[in-house]
């Protein structure tokens, strides 16, 4: 929309690279085609740096489109851009579109395999692309992709000279941060964006329960929210509440200072717009309150005016691979979350590992290993690593599990108080707060230092 899409002038080539399905065992000898995008318009050969986006759980072209920062700095750094797709997502499907059916194949969907894919791809590019042999490579990623870029530098310091891990919750694992912080931040975003906004959302859960206790009430809600599928019973009302909760969380992630289309097309500062419909005082009736909630939800689902009904089975773009991510959450990426209804605006719900594990077992036939991510990636004991920037937005609930303080001189945290989810990786915009401009400038400064260090050590 508007300014940012005019700037989407991408000159990349889309390529495929044959890669091992299993890097860590020798019984499975198959390969699959991994997709990556390459843009070398500004690349200074020989030896110019490579900015390498470590793809996350979705279509890589979508992440590429939402990572304008790399496009904007390519020229000043004389850098080549590479965006590598994560296995099992987008078009990088080892076993074709059927691959989600059997968990035998999903067995190879792990972050360790994905990092090994990236490492092998870079080694190959360096040995086959003329002029790339001595190019320093910097990993860049946001969200889960940011976790991967940080871990990539930790596990393969021989391959990348540094990493920018934007909005990367590398500590959102069992025993590392309090499970309630995530939803506390969501709540703070609503509390600061309008009168009584958080209080009315907190109240809405009970109002939904009240209204949904009769068939007439369920029908009223179905019509008021323009739902595609009617609510028929208590179970549907439960699913409806989950969907609303996820809607508020997504809004907190994409509370950007300008009109944008990341998870959905949205106005600038969307939570402020949402909160305009929720500024009731405490005497409001259940029905009035829920009418406000429906108008608020439609800011998220119908900003463009093109939606004919609201679908409670989806909350975001189809470019994300939900099933694949769910599998990863059910194996390595165990991220405890909880609510208490007091410090947050949600219904109280404890973190229950056993219940989660049982659900995973029913769906995928596997059980999560709660402590594995901490064991394999170091948890909070990462001081021995170097050259990683962790940037976090103060509005972003994922900052709860992020690195928000400086660990050492070269494990640096950059805070962006007015930033939502990886705002720094997006295209610059006239409405950008000064904190994100400063963050980007500092990030480029570190990139230059790492590149200089790398050149020095390769010539000495
Ligand atoms: C990315 O942007 C290009 C160019 O604007 C567009 O053709 C493509 O559909 C976009 N891809 C996604 C997944 O949004
Ligand atoms: C729900 O119903 C109860 C009992 O009638 C009432 O006290 C309460 O005010 C209603 N609404 C909310 C939001 O709690
Ligand atoms: C979305 O907005 C358009 C335009 O205002 C309206 O005609 C339509 O009914 C809305 N859709 C829903 C689901 O509310
Ligand atoms: C709602 O979303 C689900 C999941 O994306 C999809 O399968 C279904 O067809 C959608 N329903 C309607 C009525 O659009
Ligand atoms: C970490 O150190 C850098 C460089 O000195 C500084 O700019 C930044 O504000 C520090 N981060 C935090 C969270 O204090």
The residue whose CA is least distant from atom 5 of ligand 3 is: 305
pLDDT at 221: 98
pLDDT band at 316 (very low <50, low <70, confident <90, very high): confident
Do residue 393 and residue 445 come from a single domain?
A: yes
Number of other residues whose CB lies within 10 A of the CB of residue 155: 20
**Distance separating alpha carbons of residues 317 and 383, to the nearest angstrom:** 37
pLDDT at 321: 78
Is the pLDDT confidence value at 440 over 80? yes
Which of ligand 4's atoms lies nearest the C-alpha of 228? 13
Ligand 1 centroid vs 435 CA: distance in angstroms? 28
pLDDT at 28: 83
What does the angle CA 391 – CA 394 – CA 396 come to, to the nearest 5 degrees? 85
Q: What is the DSSP string of 333-386?
A: ------B-SSSSSS--B---HHHHHHHHHHHHS----TTHHHHHH-TT--TT--
The residue whose CA is least distant from atom 4 of ligand 5 is: 412
Q: Which of 277, 331, 287, 293 is nearest to 107 (CA)?
A: 331
Domain containing 302: what range?
Answer: 179-370
Do residue 56 and residue 141 come from a single domain?
A: yes
Catalytic residue among 421, 422, 424, 432: 421
Mean pLDDT in the chain? Answer: 94
Do residue 117 and residue 140 come from a single domain?
A: yes
Do residue 187 and residue 210 come from a single domain?
A: yes
pLDDT at 97: 52
Check if the beta carbon of residue 295 is closer than 8 Å to that of residue 288.
no
14-28, 264-278, 312-326 — which is least confidently predicted? 312-326
E strands of 167-309, at which residues?
Answer: 260-261, 265-266
Is the pLDDT confidence value at 9 over 80? no
pLDDT at 51: 98
Do residue 51 and residue 106 come from a single domain?
A: yes
Per residue in 87-112, pLDDT (tens digit) is: 999 998 776 555 554 556 789 999 99
- Segment 2-28 shows an average pLDDT of 76
Radius of gyration of the chain (CA): 23
**Distance separating alpha carbons of residues 302 and 305, to the nearest angstrom:** 5
The residue whose CA is least distant from atom 4 of ligand 2 is: 210
Do residue 196 and residue 330 come from a single domain?
A: yes
Q: Could you tell me what percent of the chain has a pLDDT over 70?
A: 95
Check if the beta carbon of residue 45 is closer than 8 Å to that of residue 17.
no
Check if the beta carbon of residue 23 is closer than 8 Å to that of residue 111.
no
Per residue in 375-422, pLDDT (tens digit) is: 999 999 999 999 999 999 999 999 999 999 999 999 999 999 999 999
**CATH number of the domain that residue 194 is part of:** 1.20.120.980
Task: Give the pair of three-digit tokens for residue 200.
Answer: 């009315």
Which of 334, 354, 370 delimits the end of a domain?
370
DSSP 8-state symbol, 121: H
pLDDT band at 318 (very low <50, low <70, confident <90, very high): confident
**CATH number of the domain that residue 411 is part of:** 3.40.50.1820
Domain count, the chain: 2
Per residue in 197-235, pLDDT (tens digit) is: 999 999 999 999 999 999 999 999 999 999 999 999 999
Is the pLDDT confidence value at 2 over 50? no
């Amino acid at each position: 929309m508007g300014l940012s899409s005019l700037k989407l002038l991408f000159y990349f080539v889309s390529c495929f690279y044959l890669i091992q399905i299993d890097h860590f065992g020798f019984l499975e000898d198959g390969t699959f085609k991994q997709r990556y995008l390459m843009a070398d318009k500004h690349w200074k050969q020989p030896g110019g740096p490579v900015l390498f986006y470590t793809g996350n759980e979705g279509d890589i072209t979508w992440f590429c489109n939402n990572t304008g920062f790399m496009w904007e700095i390519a020229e000043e750094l004389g850098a080549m851009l590479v965006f590598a797709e994560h296995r099992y997502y987008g078009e990088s499907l080892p076993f074709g579109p059927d691959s989600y059916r059997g968990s035998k194949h999903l067995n190879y969907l792990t972050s360790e395999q994905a990092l090994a894919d990236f490492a092998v791809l870079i080694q190959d590019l360096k040995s086959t692309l003329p002029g790339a042999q001595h190019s320093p490579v910097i990993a860049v990623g946001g969200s889960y992709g940011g976790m991967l870029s940080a871990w990539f530098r930790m596990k393969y310091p021989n391959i990348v000279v540094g990493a920018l891990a934007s909005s990367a919750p590398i500590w959102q694992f069992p025993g590392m941060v309090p499970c309630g912080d995530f939803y506390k931040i969501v709540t703070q975003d609503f509390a600061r964006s309008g009168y009584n906004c958080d209080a009315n959302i907190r109240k809405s859960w009970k109002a939904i329960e009240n209204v949904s206790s009769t068939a007439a009430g369920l029908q009223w809600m179905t019509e008021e929210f323009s739902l595609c599928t009617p609510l028929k019973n208590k179970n549907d009302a439960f699913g409806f509440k989950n969907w609303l909760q996820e809607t508020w969380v997504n809004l907190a992630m994409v509370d950007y200072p300008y009109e944008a289309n990341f998870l959905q097309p949205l106005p600038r500062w969307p939570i402020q717009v949402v909160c305009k419909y929720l500024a009731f005082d405490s005497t409001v009736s259940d029905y009035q309150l829920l009418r406000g909630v429906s108008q608020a939800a439609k800011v998220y689902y119908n900003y463009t005016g093109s939606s004919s009904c609201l679908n409670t089975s989806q909350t975001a773009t189809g470019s994300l691979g939900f099933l694949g991510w769910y599998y990863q959450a059910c194996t390595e990426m165990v991220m405890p979350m909880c609510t208490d209804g007091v410090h947050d605006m949600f219904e109280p719900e404890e973190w229950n590992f056993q219940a989660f594990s049982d659900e995973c077992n029913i769906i995928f036939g596997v059980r999560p290993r709660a402590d594995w991510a901490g064991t394999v990636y170091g948890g909070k004991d990462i001081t021995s690593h170097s050259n990683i920037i962790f940037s976090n937005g103060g509005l972003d609930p994922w900052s709860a599990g992020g690195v928000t303080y400086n660990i050492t001189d070269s494990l640096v945290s950059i805070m962006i108080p007015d930033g939502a989810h990886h705002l720094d990786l997006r295209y610059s915009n006239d409405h950008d707060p000064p904190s994100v401009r400063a963050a980007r400038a500092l990030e480029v400064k570190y990139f230059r230092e790492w590149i200089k260090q790398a050149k020095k050590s390769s010539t000495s």
